[in-house]
Structure 1
Amino acid sequence: MIEEPGRVVAIEREAVWIEALDEAACPGCTASVGCGRWSFDWLETPRRRRRIRALSVMPLRVGDAVVVGIREDFLLRSTLAIYLLPLLGLFVCTIAIQQLGFGESLMIPAGFLGFVSVWAMVRRISRRQMNDPTLQPVVLRALPGASEGQVRQAAF
């Protein structure tokens, strides 16, 4: 499980909304200057907040510190589907048009069409899976009485 600490900001039936701090993935990293994540952090506000919906069976209240987890295999499969499959669609369509003997004037639109069509397919599938409880983030544990700085340290 990949874990992220946060604070409960709203409660729904069988789920909670968590506000997580958007900080670097590895807070103790000494190579932050050479990291791609760090390169873009300076463009944003230093403590931008994001909210995620997480399933929870625990009795939580607004303001509680929690640790949220998401399955690693799901995150890996999703990342590959979002980034790799559209590129494969681009290459397959471009190579197919080239093998059929068409010129570059048709290869470029065919590649773009392959990219967009596979991207749309991935998006449609992900929207269908959006409400699948096995693919949702879950509250792993509550951190009783923790301040925001302590939440970050206790999670890692």
Structure 2
Amino acid sequence: MIEEQGRVVAVESGAVWVQTQRRSTCSGCVAKNGCGQGLMERLDVRERSGLIRAVSTLQLQVGDAVVLGIEERVLLRGALLVYLFPLLMLLVAASVVAQWSASEPWIIAAGLGGFVIAWGIVRLRSQRAANDPSLQPVVLRAMLAGSSGMQ
């Protein structure tokens, strides 16, 4: 289970909206001086907080510090679907058309077509999965007052 701390900003039936504080690993990275991400971190350019809807059976109030959790398998499957599947579809579509000895513009068009089809599949899948409770973050526990790393 992957855990993250946050603070409740809204309560609804069976769920809460939690604001989390994003943390960067730039301070532990060897390439921090030569990385654009490290520069953005030092300049504090990016938005630092996230708003997440989490399933909860606890009696929580706005302002409560909580620990959220999500299963590793859910995160891994989502990452594979979003990042790897479109890339594979692009390569497969381009390879299939290349096997027919098509010219380069047709191979490029087929690759882009495969990518767009995969993007559509990912979008449909994510819309269907949006309300699946087994794929949602859950509130694991409330934290004692003062023990939160949130500001």
Shorter chain as denominator, the TM-score bin is 0.7 to 0.9
Decide whether aligned partners of structure 1 residues 90 and 47 sit closer, same or farther in structure 2, where only a CA change above 3 A counts: closer
1:3 maps to 3
Identity %: 45
Decide whether aligned partners of structure 1 residues 45 and 21 sit closer, same or farther in structure 2, where only a CA change above 3 A counts: farther
Contact map agreement 2:40 2:46 (CA 8 A) in 1: no
Please list, as runs of the form range in 1=range in 2, the aligned pairs for 1:41-60 lying within 5 A after superposition: 41-42=41-42, 44-45=44-45, 48-60=48-60
Give 1:48 shift.
2.0
Decide whether aligned partners of structure 1 residues 39 and 75 sit closer, same or farther in structure 2, where only a CA change above 3 A counts: farther
What are the ranges of 5 or more consecutive residues in structure 1 without an aligned counterpart? Answer: none
In 2, Cα distance between equivalents of 1:109 and 1:92: 12
Contact map agreement 2:18 2:54 (CA 8 A) in 1: yes
What are the ranges of 5 or more consecutive residues in structure 2 without an aligned counterpart? Answer: none
Q: Are 1:152 and 2:149 an aligned pair?
A: yes
In 2, Cα distance between equivalents of 1:51 and 1:76: 21
* TM-score, normalising length: structure 2: 0.88
SS at match of 1:151: coil
In 1, Cα distance between equivalents of 2:12 and 2:27: 39
Contact map agreement 2:4 2:68 (CA 8 A) in 1: yes
2:101 maps to 101
Deviation per CA, 1:69-92: give whole Å up to 9, x if none. 011000000001100000011001
Select between 31-40 and 108-117 the one with higher mean Cα deviation.
31-40
* TM-score, normalising length: structure 1: 0.85
Q: How many residues align?
A: 147
Give 1:41 shift.
2.6
2:71 maps to 71
Contact map agreement 2:74 2:135 (CA 8 A) in 1: yes
The CA RMSD measured in Å over matched residues stands at: 2.1
